[in-house]
Amino acid sequence: MIRPDAPLLLDICDLHASVEDQPILKGVNLSIRAGEIHAVMGRNGSGKSTLSKVLAGHPAYTVTAGSVNYRGADLLELDPEQRARIGLFLGFQYPVEIPGVSNLEFLRVATNSRRAERGDEELDTFAFEDLVHERLKVVQMDPAFLGRSVNEGFSGGEKKRNEILQMALLEPLVAILDETDSGLDIDALRIVADGVNQLAGPENATLLITHYQRLLDLITPDYVHVMAAGRILRTGGKELALELERTGYDWVDLELARLEPETVEVA
């Protein structure tokens, strides 16, 4: 939902970042207001996951220029845990397995760290069980998953649902979902999309990273951005995604060739 007067949650300005001295992001600009749903699309390797990890504060990525403002604060100054506590959430493209750490305990500690930041009281194991069982319904997940180690032995779809469960518990203000749809069968896709739609509200915003129109059939974006070679090449409404579906990314190569003739080969 676009409301020009809605508060600005995330403001990314000319963001440059590299990994192992290799520049990946080359000037990303993106503003997100409360209530909005944004989709970022683009070919593999265009820098979408890098953008999401830089925003979440992954230590492997170095910001070389630009700024990110999150609700008036300099996001890039903060540790990853602090970013999470103040309401930034990243749903990972590839959630890692953490053997030996109980999923339930992990979810409880995570939830409580966010609650503490908001001034809410800590939930003990009993109170948390009630909350988590209620939120499990959002993703139609079997409570048996709570008793296992974090993501250990989960199927691809189960991992993604566990991500959305975490989002449901942490109640972020800005949720970045990195290819949460990939690897899901149609039923799982619907469950995940329903979950995201339930959690989206006028106070928060969602940034969906995806390759596929099929997710955007279920979650209607307010804005669609096309990313290529570490920057956002074009921004439009939901019809831009449909156009991409029809025409593919060839025009992106042409546009890039115009911008950076030295780095792009045109077939």
Ligand X SMILES: Nc1ncnc2c1ncn2[C@@H]1O[C@H](COP(=O)(O)OP(=O)(O)O)[C@@H](O)[C@H]1O
Binding residues for another protein, rule: CB under 8 A, are 56-60, 79-81, 83-85, 89-90, 92, 95-96, 98-102, 105-106, 109-110, 113-114, 117, 149-150, 166, 170
User: Nearest approach, Cβ of 100 to ligand X (angstroms)?
Assistant: 25
Write the burial class of residue 253 (CB in 10 Å: 0-12 exposed, 13-18 middle, 19+ buried): middle
125/34 Cα distance (integer angstroms)? 32
User: Nearest approach, Cβ of 63 to ligand X (angstroms)?
Assistant: 14
8 Å CB contact between 50 and 19: yes
- How many Cα neighbours within 13 Å face the side chain of 121? 5
Nearest to 33, CA basis, from 178, 202, 180:
202
Q: Judged by CB, which is closer to ligand X: 54, or 141?
A: 54
Which residues are bridge partners to 208 per DSSP?
39, 177
What does 113 bind: another protein, ligand X, Mg ion, none (CB cut-off 5 to 8 Å by kind)? another protein
Say whether residue 48 binds ligand X (CB under 6 A).
Answer: yes
CA angle 8, 95, 204 (to 5 degrees): 20
Judged by CB under 6 A, which of 21, 44, 59, 100 binds ligand X?
A: 44
Say whether residue 50 binds Mg ion (CB under 5 A).
Answer: no
188/192 Cα distance (integer angstroms)? 6
DSSP category for residue 144: G
Judged by CB under 5 A, which of 33, 42, 49, 154 binds Mg ion?
A: 49
What does 100 bind: Mg ion, ligand X, another protein, none (CB cut-off 5 to 8 Å by kind)? another protein
What does 249 bind: ligand X, Mg ion, another protein, none (CB cut-off 5 to 8 Å by kind)? none
Say whether residue 47 binds ligand X (CB under 6 A).
Answer: yes
8 Å CB contact between 215 and 191: no
Say whether residue 262 binds ligand X (CB under 6 A).
Answer: no
Site track 5-24 with ligand X (rule: CB under 6 A), x = hit: --------------xx---x
Q: Judged by CB, which is closer to another protein: 166, or 204?
A: 166
Say whether residue 49 binds ligand X (CB under 6 A).
Answer: yes
End-to-end Cα spacing for the chain:
39
Say whether residue 46 binds ligand X (CB under 6 A).
Answer: yes
Task: Report the phi/psi class of residue 94: left, alpha or beta, with left for phi > 0 and alpha for psi in -120 to 50.
Answer: beta
**Distance of alpha carbon 265 from its chain centroid, rounded?**
30
Give the interface with Mg ion as residue ranges (CB under 5 A). 48-49, 93
Give the interface with ligand X as residue ranges (CB under 6 A). 19-20, 24, 42, 44-50, 60
